[in-house]
Structure 1
Amino acid sequence: MREALDDRLAARLAALRVQRDWSLDDLAGRTGVSRSTLSRLERGEISPTASLLGKLCTAYGWTMSRLLADVEAAPPPVVRAGDQSVWRDDASGFTRRVVSPPHAGLRGELIEGVLDPGADIRYDAPPVAGLEQHVWVLAGALQLTDGDTTHDLETGDCLRFRLWGPTRFRNPGSEPVRYAVVVVLP
C-alpha cells in the first residue's frame, strides 16, 4: 500500500513540474534540491522526506496536505446505489442523492435532485465562485434562475453555466421533477 502511494506521489510531482513547463534544472534552482535527487524522486526510486516535500510544495504553491490528498487512494470506480447518500428536506419538498461524491483526486461530482410539485429552492450564493454546473432534466419541468436569467427546462434539456450569484430551482408543474447536476470545480 505504501509503495502504491509513493508511486502516485512520484507521478503527481512529475506532472506538477511538467504542467509548469519546468525542467529538472528549473525545479532544482527553485528548491535547492539536486537535479539527480529530483529525477530519482519522480521516477519513484526514492521516497521523499518531509523536508523535501516541504521544499517542493513551496515551489508549487501547494500545501503538503493538498498534495497528499491529491494522491490518496483512487476513489472506487463504482459507487453502488446503496452507498449513495440521500437527504430529504420535507419542508421544501426536495430530495438530494449524491450519485458520485467528491474526492480529493477528482474535480467533478454528480447529484440527482427531485423537487415535489410547487417546490421552490433558493441559494443566495455559490459555495465556490465560478463553479461549473450542468443541469440535465431527466423527467418533468424545471424552472432554474441563474442570477437574473430564468430558464424553463423540460425533459431532456440541459443547462450549462458557471455559478457566480444566486440561483433558484423551482418545479412549476403538477408532477415531481427529477434532474441531474454535474458539478465541476474551477
Structure 2
Amino acid sequence: MNIAQHLSATLKSLRQQREWSLSRLADETGVSKAMLGQIERNESSPTVATLWKIATGLNVPFSLFITPPQSETPGAFDPQQQAMVVTPVFPWDPELCFDHFSILLAPGALSESTPHEKGVIEHVIAISGTLDMYVAGEWRRLEAGEGLRFAGDEAHSYRNSTQQVTHFHSLIHYPKEKTASELAVRQRDNNYQ
C-alpha cells in the first residue's frame, strides 16, 4: 500500500468507525463533501492544510494520515511541484501524545494552519534557511538553530520569504484526553502496515 492508498483507507476507516456520512464529516472538518469523497476514492491528493483540517475535525493526530507504510521510502522534494513536504520523524506516540515532523518549505511558500484541537502545543525549530512564523497576531523570524513554542489551537502560519528551501522540525503535543477508542484505532492501523 502506498501513501496515497494509506491516506484514502485511513480516512474511510475513521469515518465508518464513527458511522458518519460524508456530509457529517464535511461539517466536522470544514472540508467539502466532494473533496472528502475524492480523497476516500484516492482520486485527489489533499494539501497539508486540508489534511490538518481533517485531522482536527476527527480529533486524531496528523501523522495518522501521512505515516507511510514501512516499505515505502519518501521521494525527492521538488519545490517547483510542492510547496510543503511533511515527513514523520517520530510518528504518533500514544503514551507521550506527540508527533514529530521534518518539514521542507519551498521558496516563497506560505502555509496557513487552522487551529488544531484545544490544548495542542507546537514546538518549531528551524534547521536550515529562514522561517517566518505567524503566531499570536504577529510575524516572528526564525533562523537556523532557533525555536518557538506556541499554542497550536490558534491559527498560525509558516512562510518562507527567501529564495532557498527552508527546513524545520515541528513537535506537536496533543492533550492527554484522547479517548481509548481513538488510541486503539491508531494502534490497530499501525499493526496493519
Q: How high is the TM-score relative to the length of structure 1? A: 0.50
Q: How high is the TM-score relative to the length of structure 2? A: 0.48
Higher gyration radius (CA) = 1
